[in-house]
Amino acid sequence: MNILVTGGAGFIGSQFVRDLVDHDEGARITVLDKLTYAGNQANLPDGGHHFVRGDIADRDMLAMLMPGTDVVVNFAAETHVDRSITDSAGFLRTNVLGVQTLLEAARAADVTTFLQVSTDEVYGSIAEGSWPETDPLLPNSPYAAAKAGADLLCRSYHRTYGMDVRVTRCSNNYGPYQFPEKVIPLFVTNLLRGVPVPLYGDGGNVRDWLHVADHCRGIRLVLSKGEPGEVYNIGGGVELSNRELTERLLEACGADWSMVRQVPDRLGHDRRYSVDHSKIQSLGYAPEVDFAAGLTETVQWYRDNPSWWASSVKPA
């Protein structure tokens, strides 16, 4: 089976590629990545795949690369909410136009299955309970709106052209190789250098945490057992406020609350995310990584690999 993994040099995509190399010996893997600031070939295994540097919005390149592909798994995206608030144009280009270009190339090449990796942020914010996949999309940031647009394009390609398109929506990921702009790697790399960490608002915003390895197990399950045209939430089942998460990170890094600086809240900051992942549980999914153990291992990975992240952080 020929698998094209787009955005495969990023945090989640590279975990997926490493898993494929380890567990799917018959897979012929091509990794396509633009290698923007968050993509790094050092995240990928030494062998077991073919790497191509390129952009999912490049029609001509995709026309050459796509023929013979059986499965496309799309991780390629601009993902950082703060960056989307400052300048949304790049998010629309990659997350909407790029996905449409990729879908069209896959359709032209008769790709068997196309899986779009999305996010729980497309649902907006929920005060209580958890979102099932049937809830409306009510995104509140330019990033989330662009991802929602891609999800709807995927639905349209299934309904209009009969393509086998599947969508996964995950909760907040953590683990090794995550670029230090997201909260866990940012806070950890700051604390390891003795730099205070910025906590938005009152710290009461709640997120559901999912280890990247569990996320990728869920994606592989949707590829093997999921149904065309369906959406599957992938959650971790561990909800923490940002304040609670900060306390755990302080403890893990041997720091105290004096290292926290409360900063003005993010514009349009969603208060709480929570996905109902009972649908994918019916396929056999369950998170395997204990959050406390996973967080400890993640902090230790950043402690052990300063050469990987040192050039990516602001000087102390």
In a domain, 126, yes or no: yes
Whether 180 and 164 share a structural domain: no
Q: Catalytic residue, from 123, 143, 232, 273: name it.
A: 143
SS (H, E, C) 166-204: EEEEECEEECCCCCCCCHHHHHHHHHHCCCCEEEECCCC
Work out the percent of the chain whose per-residue pLDDT is above 90.
Answer: 89
Whether 139 and 193 share a structural domain: no
Task: Provide the CATH number for the domain around residue 190.
Answer: 3.90.25.10
Whether 97 and 199 share a structural domain: no
In a domain, 229, yes or no: yes
Residue 87 pLDDT class (50, 70, 90 cuts):
confident
- The count of other CB atoms within 10 Å of the CB of residue 307 is 8
Whether 8 and 34 share a structural domain: yes
Instruction: For residues 253-281, give the mean pLDDT.
Output: 96
Quickly count helices (H) and strands (E) in the chain.
12, 12
Q: How far apart are the first and last CA of the chain?
A: 47
Q: Catalytic residue, from 121, 151, 208, 214: name it.
A: 121
Six-digit token string for 283: 């396929």
Whether 192 and 56 share a structural domain: no
Coil, helix or strand at residue 231: strand
Six-digit token string for 286: 């369950």
Whether 216 and 252 share a structural domain: no
273 is catalytic: no
Q: Catalytic residue, from 55, 120, 133, 214: name it.
A: 120
Whether 21 and 161 share a structural domain: yes
How far is residue 192's CA from residue 254's CA, in Å, rounded to a whole number? 9
Whether 54 and 115 share a structural domain: yes
How far is residue 96's CA from residue 146's CA, in Å, rounded to a whole number? 6
Task: Please state the φ and ψ torsions of residue 102, each to the nearest 5 degrees.
Answer: -70, -45
pTM for the whole structure: 0.96
Task: Give residue-wise pLDDT tens across range 43-80.
Answer: 999 999 999 999 999 999 999 999 999 999 999 998 77
Whether 192 and 306 share a structural domain: yes
Task: Give residue-wise pLDDT tens across range 172-206.
Answer: 999 999 999 999 999 999 999 999 999 999 999 99
157 is catalytic: no
265 is catalytic: no
In a domain, 202, yes or no: yes
Task: Please state the φ and ψ torsions of residue 238, each to the nearest 5 degrees.
Answer: -125, 100
Whether 143 and 184 share a structural domain: no
Question: Cβ-count burial of 78 within 10 angstroms (0-12 exposed, 13-18 middle, 19+ buried)?
Answer: buried
In a domain, 135, yes or no: yes
- The count of other CB atoms within 10 Å of the CB of residue 163 is 21
The total number of structural domains that make up the chain? 2
Contact 236, 287 (CB under 8 A): yes
Whether 223 and 193 share a structural domain: no
How far is residue 147's CA from residue 138's CA, in Å, rounded to a whole number? 11
Residues spanned by the domain of 20: 2-171+212-234
Task: Provide the CATH number for the domain around residue 67.
Answer: 3.40.50.720
